[in-house]
């Protein structure tokens, strides 16, 4: 009897194990573990094969080259850099240049794309067709060709330094670039910046009180905030015992200009190319979002006596944003990654700079790993911000 009891217990135990193994949740976990193990194994084998191939050439994977002297200067830099700077410093300059052109291009392409998208749904036949022609032309041309053409048209129509265009500032535009005045810090610059921060905080709180007091919308509140901050900033400037900044004006010397900041033609070329090539996709996204708002909403707004501008700003756009924002995230990610095409016109962004470092050090694997990590980080940060904004404008179901 005891033997039968032990046998039945053993059978029950085996049955539980079999049932556990065939449980759908367990199978899903096992499948993921097996797949992850296979991926890690393949990655390890590829790494070993690459390390073995490099060892045959007398090379070992490492990042000690980052501390070596770069030996070249960069035309556009937001931080200090010279020929004696390290490769790590040069890469930092490239990252900042990439962020600069990406940020400016995203802002300008958004503005142009929204305008063209509104024109695309306009009832005016001429405006509608102009927007349609722009979208169809630039959407079907490779972005690289748009960038090269923008740079070529821009650079070949600029005069020599001796015949440079004189712009307000004074600023000078020639085939060497745009030379503009720059601000130099003084002894009280930090005090003025701290004062500006205090003015900004005061402007935000005062504008929020005005918005609640008079029941204004957020757009008017933003304008009020900017106006208050501007007034407080001007008052703070004249209240300082001395000038918070000194202006350095560019001066012609020989065949070029010294002083100020020089913006190379490549900067304008890449921004112009990215904006013209990316705006059609933004415009199509905006058009789809605007057309997703039902006509009943528009008719109700007109029945309430709202003007066309008020209807667009208060009724159509707030609802269209819920459709526009998700695909706009993909547009911004594509634009950030497409900034690497700036190397085609020799603009010193991260790809162009790391290509120079690769030719000097031969560390292609390490440098490509760094570049991929940089672009992945920029894309993830952009995606996180857009996902946060999308959560703020999406429809919340109750």
Residue 174 to residue 172: CA distance in whole angstroms: 7
Question: How confident is the model at residue 70, as a pLDDT?
Answer: 86
Task: For residue 132, tell me if it sits in a domain.
Answer: yes
The two tokens of residue 270 are 């890449």
Instruction: Examine the domain organization and report whether 6 and 142 are in the same domain.
Output: no
Buried b (16+ CB within 10 A) or exposed e, 244-264: beeeeebeeeeeebeebebbb
Shared domain for 359 and 310, answered yes or no, is yes
Report CA-CA distances (Å) from 277 to 41, 76, 101, 150, 334. Answer: 41, 23, 14, 10, 11
How many domains is the chain built from? 2
Whether 11 and 144 share a structural domain = no
Compute the distance between CA of residue 336 and CA of residue 330 in angstroms, rounded to an integer.
10
Q: Which residue, among 212, 206, 208, has the nearest Cα to 228 in the 3D structure?
A: 206
| Residue 117 within any structural domain of the chain | yes
Query: In the numeric block, which tokens belong to residue 149?
Result: 């053409």
Q: Do the beta carbons of residue 109 and residue 279 sit within 8 Å?
A: yes
The Cα–Cα gap between 43 and 32 comes to 16
If asked whether residues 342 and 273 sit together in one domain, one would say yes
353 shares a domain with 292? yes
* Residue 260 is assigned to a structural domain of this protein: no
Clarify whether residues 11 and 137 are in a common domain: no
Please indicate, yes or no, if residue 368 is contained in any of the structural domains.
yes
Tokens of 225: 């905030």
Tell which residue, 114, 65, 160, has the closest CA to residue 283: 114
Place of tokens 């001429």: 126
Residues spanned by the domain of 10: 2-56
> Strands 171-174 and 177-180: what pairing?
antiparallel
Domain ends where: 56, 73, 95? 56
Chain centroid offset of residue 236 CA = 33
| CA dihedral over 8, 11, 17, 21, signed as positive or negative | negative
Residue 341 lies inside a defined structural domain of this protein: yes
Q: Tell me which residue has tokens 């010294």.
A: 258
The H-or-E segment that residue 395 falls in is none
In this structure, the answer to whether residues 45 and 131 fall within a common structural domain is no
Are residues 34 and 100 both part of a single domain?
no
Phi, psi of 124 (to 5 degrees): -70, 120
CA 70 and chain centroid, separation? 27
Q: What pLDDT score was predicted for residue 146?
A: 92
Contact between residue 331 and residue 282 where contact means Cβ atoms under 8 Å apart: yes
**DSSP secondary structure letter of residue 256:** E
pLDDT along the chain (398 residues), means of 10: 53 62 74 90 87 78 84 84 89 92 93 92 90 92 91 83 84 85 87 92 92 81 90 91 87 82 86 92 91 86 82 84 88 92 89 90 86 92 88 62
Nearest to 165 by CA among 157, 59, 214, 281: 157
Q: Is residue 10 part of a domain?
A: yes
Paired residues of 24 in beta bridges:
none
- pLDDT for position 222: 86
CA distance between the termini of the chain: 62
CA neighbor of 72 nearest in space, from 396, 326, 357: 357
Contact (CB, 8 A) for 354 and 367: yes
119 and 17 within one domain = no
State whether 134 and 270 are in the same domain.
Answer: yes
Task: Report pLDDT for 398.
Answer: 43
CATH number of domain containing 272: 1.10.3720.10
Structural element, H or E, at residue 180: strand 177-180
Report whether 68 contacts 87 (CB < 8 A).
yes
């Amino acid at each position: 009897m005891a033997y039968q009891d032990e046998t039945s217990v053993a059978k029950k135990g085996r049955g539980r194990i079999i049932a556990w193994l065939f449980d759908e949740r367990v199978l899903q976990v096992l499948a993921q573990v097996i797949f992850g193990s296979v991926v890690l194994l393949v990655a390890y084998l590829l790494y070993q094969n690459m390390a073995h191939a490099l060892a045959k050439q007398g090379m070992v994977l490492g990042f000690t080259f980052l501390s070596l002297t770069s030996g070249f200067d960069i035309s556009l830099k937001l931080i200090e850099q010279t020929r004696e700077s390290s490769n790590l410093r040069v890469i930092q300059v490239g990252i900042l240049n990439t962020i600069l052109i990406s940020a400016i291009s995203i802002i300008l392409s958004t503005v142009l794309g929204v305008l063209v998208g509104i024109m695309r749904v306009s009832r005016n036949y001429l405006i509608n067709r102009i927007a349609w022609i722009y979208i169809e032309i630039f959407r079907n041309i490779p972005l690289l060709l748009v960038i090269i053409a923008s740079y070529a048209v821009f650079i070949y129509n600029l005069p020599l330094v001796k015949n440079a265009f004189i712009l307000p500032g004074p600023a000078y535009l020639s085939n060497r670039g745009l030379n503009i005045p720059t601000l130099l810090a003084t002894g009280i610059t930090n005090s003025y910046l701290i004062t500006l921060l205090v003015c900004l905080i005061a402007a935000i709180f005062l504008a929020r009180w005005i918005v609640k007091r008079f029941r204004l919308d957020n757009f008017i509140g933003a304008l009020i905030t900017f106006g208050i901050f501007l007034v407080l900033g001007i008052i703070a400037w004249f209240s300082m015992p001395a000038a918070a900044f000194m202006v350095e004006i560019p001066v012609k010397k020989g065949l070029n200009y010294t002083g100020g900041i020089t913006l190379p033609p490549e900067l304008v070329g890449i921004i112009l190319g990215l904006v013209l090539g990316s705006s059609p996709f933004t415009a199509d996204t905006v058009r789809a979002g605007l057309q997703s708002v039902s006509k009943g909403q528009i008719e109700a707004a007109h029945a309430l006596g709202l003007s066309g501008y008020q209807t667009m700003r208060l009724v159509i756009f707030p609802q269209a944003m819920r459709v526009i924002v998700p695909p706009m995230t993909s547009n911004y990610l594509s634009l950030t990654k497409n900034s690497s095409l700036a190397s085609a016109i020799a603009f010193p962004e991260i790809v162009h700079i790391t290509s120079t470092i690769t030719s000097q050090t031969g560390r292609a694997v390490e440098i490509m790993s760094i570049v991929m990590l940089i672009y992945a980080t920029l894309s993830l940060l952009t995606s996180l911000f857009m996902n946060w904004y999308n959560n703020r404008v999406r429809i919340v179901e109750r």
